[in-house]
A and B are shown apart, each in its own frame.
Chain A
Amino acid sequence: MSYDVIIGLEVHVQLQTQTKVFCGCSTAFNPQAPNTQTCPTCLGLPGALPVLNKKAFELAVQTAMGLNCEIPLFTKWDRKQYFYPDLPKGYQISQYDLPFSRNGHLDIPPATDGDTPIRVRILRAHLEEDAGKNLHDESGRGAGSMIDLNRAGTPLVEIVTEPDLRNAMSARRFLEELRLLLVYLGVSDCNMQEGSLRCDANVNLHVHGPDGTKIPTPIVEVKNLNSFRFTEQAIEFEVARQWEQYQKTGQTIHDAPKVTRGFDPDRGMTYALREKEEAADYRYFPDPDLVPVTVTEEQLSLWRSRLVESPASRRERFRQEYGLSLYDAQVILDQGVLFADYFEQVASQTKDGKQAANWLTQEVQRVLNDRRWTLTEFPFPAPALGHLLSLVSTKKITGKSAKDVFNLLVEGDEPEVVTSETIDATIAERGLALVEDTGAIDMAIADVIGRNPKAVQDFRSGKQAAAGALIGQVMKAVKGADPQSVRERLLKQLEG
């Protein structure tokens, strides 16, 4: 017997707004000062009312646009009702039957060149407010239990996928691509330590029956996975556990209701969460304190026009326009939108994507890491680096010299911003310019060959290494000669 793994994800993404979704309080992560970023509205005080933060709605719509979702022109707010200490109103303002977006997709990029992407359909994305945070002591006796409502009212987009994922690795790669997209769109910082991105995974198996039918096993929802690695581990664990369970009990989806489980990262295992006595009935109904939102086509196209290019589109362009491998394209994309922009500026200036990619992923990244600079602090603007690399590709300087110049110009505590002029001046100062006078080079070669009959003899008798010594002498004689060109001309003379 074999089986297919069926996985759907629900991802909660905290939007990057200055203020909360229904009040003016700050959304800054601030666990050191609990309950300081609160007001009557997010505390749920009697008589306080919510007012929609338009920026949060715009970011939510841009998120959905990035996920290729349909955006209906009408959406409304519903109350999801349940009692919990971190939920001060006794309900969460969310969206039920008319979410602001639906029917989208996100493709998981191929892992290697030649593979095809995997399409994951997005069922819906809706906007809601986050709850606060309980710090306890689960006994409920109030002893030691505390509540921090700083987070209450932070805007969240909940993204629900169709059950299109077939293994734990894909789930992880989907989340990675989603995070990349959200960061590129500038809608979320996706900081998982601070809970800006959280994931629930719905997992079950479709066991292949002997007659070719597929038998679905009970669905398990693993809640609150706060890292991609944990998501992958939790799913892998669940698949194995569910398969074992099925072999033991033969239970199918019809025999058992959906259950929720938690994940213990220390043991790498999921565990049963305490089941509520009754199935949750959230008694959703339209929030009478808020008015529905209507958007116009004009508004949507304005927001669409402000949307930055998606990583998927860039990845494809980097491969097509700049001839990068999937791997190189990904390495650059993973460094963020500024880095990708920087790459594009350099590559379009030098017309050599591969060279630009090599420099960015090696020299530039090394300096950024060593110096702990962000790209905005980096003293080498893209046009300057483009100029430097162009000098290499047009053989004005050697690659080695370029690296020396590069390292020289980023030295010091606060190096000055590099320009083409400072690069040229440095090259001149250090005498790094390659000599293009081929006559001078040829004369020097002839001279060196004449003065080193032994080495010439060795070379001609098959000792390739002998050429090295000859090249060295020519280089010494003609300062700034391009070693590659010297080598070519020397070999020609030796062989000719």
Chain B
Amino acid sequence: MSSTAATPINQLSMSEQLQRLQNKAISSVELVDATLAAIETHDGSVGAFLQVYPEQARAQAASFDERRARGETVPSLAGLPIAIKDNMCRTGDTVTCASRMLHNYRPPYTAGAIERLERAGAIVVGRTNLDEFAMGSSGENSAVQLTRNPWDLERTPGGSSSGSAASVAARYVSGSLGSDTGGSIRQPAGLCGVVGLKPTYGRVSRYGLIAFASSLDQIGPLATDVTGAAILLEAISGHDPRDSTSVDVPVPSYSQLVQQPLAGLRVGFCPAHFSEGLDQEVAQTIRQALTLYRQLGAEVKEIALPHADYSVAAYYLIAPSEASSNLSRYDGIHYGYRSDKFENLADLYAASRGEGFGPEVKRRIMLGTYALSAGYYDQYYARALKVRRLIRRDYDEAFQEVDVIAGPVAPTTAFRLGEKNNDPLAMYLSDIYTIGTNLAGIPAISLPAGYSKSGLPIGLQLQGPAFEEIKLLQAAYMFEQAAGVLERKPGMVGG
């Protein structure tokens, strides 16, 4: 373990950064500068950021430093640099969703989660890359650039929150925000060796999150450690009357409670999560994680999720159906990309959408349009909703028996860029373990569980009952402390 004195301050954990800011051991300007310097040094090769706001970030940092110097009370995250996925609106920014369609789109309003984050004092240093409109599992669907995995630049960081995971793995920032529709926070967190949490549906406002699939999307935190994820989750959670699906449930003090030991923890595992297609090294690491829980005094028991096998099929009907509708607004009329070659109105639509969207987005729009068409609705969409209800019931029943369900995040470690590019089905299967969480609307966390022989991170997923994020965080923290997984960092940042 490298001595903390030698660690650049951008590489410190979020709680350490906050503590040093608070006792004025470091200034926010220093922290932001360190972050910007790291981005400057490494992001040419990693490609996590689509946009960086150096002047704005420094100005905000300076203002917090001044307020601290004057002895003013500042909010809890005052001066902390954070990265956000480029699908969350903020007044004045250009928000692209990594799509040609929105290359010039500047929203006149700020997302609920970003509002809360900024009100808590965090500084948005930049916007991170993603699969176009958050559709994908490798970041390769970005119309702008590739993001590379800081652990191995030839490999994918996962997706769709590719840049949010990579920016944390590369230790530019101690935390970031991503969005998770079928695993888009957890899978890249898993492949990048960081912590990622998908909150309960309704826990975090979706207002201002550019929708992919409205009934599945949730904004959530990524961080270098579990405590960081707890701090960010606390900052962004809470009811927002502007989002009808936001739920008015009190927000526990995750940051205060995360390190409290959890007595009598019951950890479930599901044999379906160890089925064929799961990499042996990954399987072994997850089994070791279960053993570690047993050693920590938890009760580990098998549970059943009888409809887990249908989750990918149901997801790839529901998510594209909603996407096909949500993306109808990009029509070349009101804002965004408009083709300059068209003969009539129908042509204007077809050309603008044909040129503005990438192939994966078009594939999903077509899938969804088909699934919702007259004559097919009952057979596809309505059936998928039935399966969704069954999957939700499976989880309800499982959580009668256990507090959390442990399993792999993804079937493999980070795959090579280009490897699954031409095989959408193989790409879709990388979400096989994460999708059920979104269909059931429950929370789940992904955290580093170990490393493959070739030195790639392997993620452990814990799923929990609705609005029991605190249990997930506490169970994850227990594991994190005992497993000693935090000591490794990507080689590029001196790990």
Q: Which A residues contact B (CB, under 8 angstroms)?
A: 40, 43-52, 79, 81, 83, 85, 88-91, 139-142, 147, 281, 283-285, 288-291
The answer for the CA separation of A52 and B241 in the assembled complex, in Å, is 11
B381 within 8 A of A: yes
User: How far does the Cβ of B115 sit from chain A's closest Cβ, in whole Å?
Assistant: 12
User: How far does the Cβ of A10 sit from chain B's closest Cβ, in whole Å?
Assistant: 20
User: How far does the Cβ of A475 sit from chain B's closest Cβ, in whole Å?
Assistant: 76
User: Is the CB–CB distance between A285 and B377 below 8 Å?
Assistant: yes
Chain B residues with CB under 8 Å of A285's CB are: 321, 325, 372, 377, 381
B69 within 8 A of A: no
The answer for the CA separation of A81 and B108 in the assembled complex, in Å, is 25
User: Is the CB–CB distance between B244 and A50 below 8 Å?
Assistant: yes
Chain B contributes a number of interface residues (CB within 8 A of A) equal to 50
A-B contact pairs, 30 of them (CB 8 A): A44-B334, A46-B89, A46-B105, A46-B210, A46-B330, A47-B111, A47-B208, A47-B209, A51-B241, A51-B243, A79-B325, A81-B372, A83-B328, A83-B331, A85-B345, A88-B333, A88-B334, A90-B328, A91-B325, A91-B328, A140-B345, A142-B348, A147-B333, A284-B372, A285-B325, A288-B213, A288-B214, A289-B245, A290-B244, A291-B244
User: Residue among A44, A49, A52, A83 with the most chain B CB within 10 A?
Assistant: A49
**0 or 1 for each of B188-231: is its CB under 8 Å from A? (1 = yes):** 00000000000000000011111101110000000000000000
User: Is the CB–CB distance between B335 and A45 below 8 Å?
Assistant: yes
Closest 4 CB pairs between A and B? A90-B328, A140-B345, A288-B215, A288-B214
The answer for the CA separation of A52 and B243 in the assembled complex, in Å, is 10
**0 or 1 for each of B94-108: is its CB under 8 Å from A? (1 = yes):** 010100001001011
The answer for the CA separation of A43 and B336 in the assembled complex, in Å, is 13
Q: Which parts of B342-393 form the interface with A (CB within 8 Å)?
A: 342-349, 369, 372-374, 377, 381
**What residue of chain A has the Cβ atom nearest to residue B374's Cβ?**
A281
User: Is the CB–CB distance between A81 and B325 below 8 Å?
Assistant: yes
User: Is the CB–CB distance between B107 and A47 below 8 Å?
Assistant: yes
Chain A residues with CB under 8 Å of B325's CB are: 79, 81, 90-91, 283, 285
Chain A residues with CB under 8 Å of B342's CB are: 140-141
B109 within 8 A of A: yes
User: Is the CB–CB distance between B322 and A44 below 8 Å?
Assistant: no
- B contact face: mostly helix, strand, loop, or mixed: loop
User: How far does the Cβ of A209 sit from chain B's closest Cβ, in whole Å?
Assistant: 33
User: Is the CB–CB distance between A291 and B210 below 8 Å?
Assistant: no
User: How far does the Cβ of A95 sit from chain B's closest Cβ, in whole Å?
Assistant: 16
B242 within 8 A of A: yes
**0 or 1 for each of B442-454: is its CB under 8 Å from A? (1 = yes):** 0000000000000
Apart from A47-B208, A140-B342, A142-B348, what are 5 other A-B pairs with CB-CB below 8 Å? Answer: A46-B97, A48-B109, A90-B328, A140-B347, A291-B244
B329 within 8 A of A: yes
User: Is the CB–CB distance between B348 and A140 below 8 Å?
Assistant: yes
Chain B residues with CB under 8 Å of A281's CB are: 373-374
Chain B residues with CB under 8 Å of A81's CB are: 325, 328, 372
The answer for the CA separation of A47 and B369 in the assembled complex, in Å, is 21
The answer for the CA separation of A81 and B109 in the assembled complex, in Å, is 26
User: How far does the Cβ of A316 sit from chain B's closest Cβ, in whole Å?
Assistant: 43
User: How far does the Cβ of B164 sit from chain A's closest Cβ, in whole Å?
Assistant: 17
User: How far does the Cβ of B24 sit from chain A's closest Cβ, in whole Å?
Assistant: 37
User: Is the CB–CB distance between A46 and B211 below 8 Å?
Assistant: yes
The answer for the CA separation of A293 and B310 in the assembled complex, in Å, is 30
The answer for the CA separation of A50 and B335 in the assembled complex, in Å, is 19
User: How far does the Cβ of B351 sit from chain A's closest Cβ, in whole Å?
Assistant: 12
Chain A residues with CB under 8 Å of B348's CB are: 140, 142
User: Is the CB–CB distance between A45 and B372 below 8 Å?
Assistant: no
Q: Contacts A85-B345, A90-B329; is A45 near B108 (CB within 8 Å)?
A: yes
Chain B residues with CB under 8 Å of A46's CB are: 89, 95, 97, 102, 105, 107, 210-211, 329-330
User: How far does the Cβ of A80 sit from chain B's closest Cβ, in whole Å?
Assistant: 10
Chain A residues with CB under 8 Å of B346's CB are: 140
Contact of A283 among B105, B211, B241, B369 (CB under 8 A): B369
User: Is the CB–CB distance between A85 and B333 below 8 Å?
Assistant: yes
**What residue of chain A has the Cβ atom nearest to residue B105's Cβ?**
A46
User: Is the CB–CB distance between A52 and B373 below 8 Å?
Assistant: no
User: Is the CB–CB distance between B207 and A48 below 8 Å?
Assistant: yes
**What residue of chain B has the Cβ atom nearest to residue A52's Cβ?**
B244
Chain B residues with CB under 8 Å of A43's CB are: 334
Chain A residues with CB under 8 Å of B329's CB are: 44, 46, 88-90
Q: Which parts of B153-211 form the interface with A (CB within 8 Å)?
A: 206-211
User: Residue among B88, B322, B329 with the most chain A CB within 10 A?
Assistant: B329
User: Is the CB–CB distance between A288 and B322 below 8 Å?
Assistant: yes
User: Is the CB–CB distance between A51 and B369 below 8 Å?
Assistant: no
User: How far does the Cβ of A136 sit from chain B's closest Cβ, in whole Å?
Assistant: 10
The answer for the CA separation of A140 and B331 in the assembled complex, in Å, is 13
Q: Which parts of B314-338 form the interface with A (CB within 8 Å)?
A: 321-322, 324-325, 327-331, 333-335
User: Is the CB–CB distance between A47 and B374 below 8 Å?
Assistant: no
Chain B residues with CB under 8 Å of A139's CB are: 344
**What residue of chain A has the Cβ atom nearest to residue B209's Cβ?**
A47
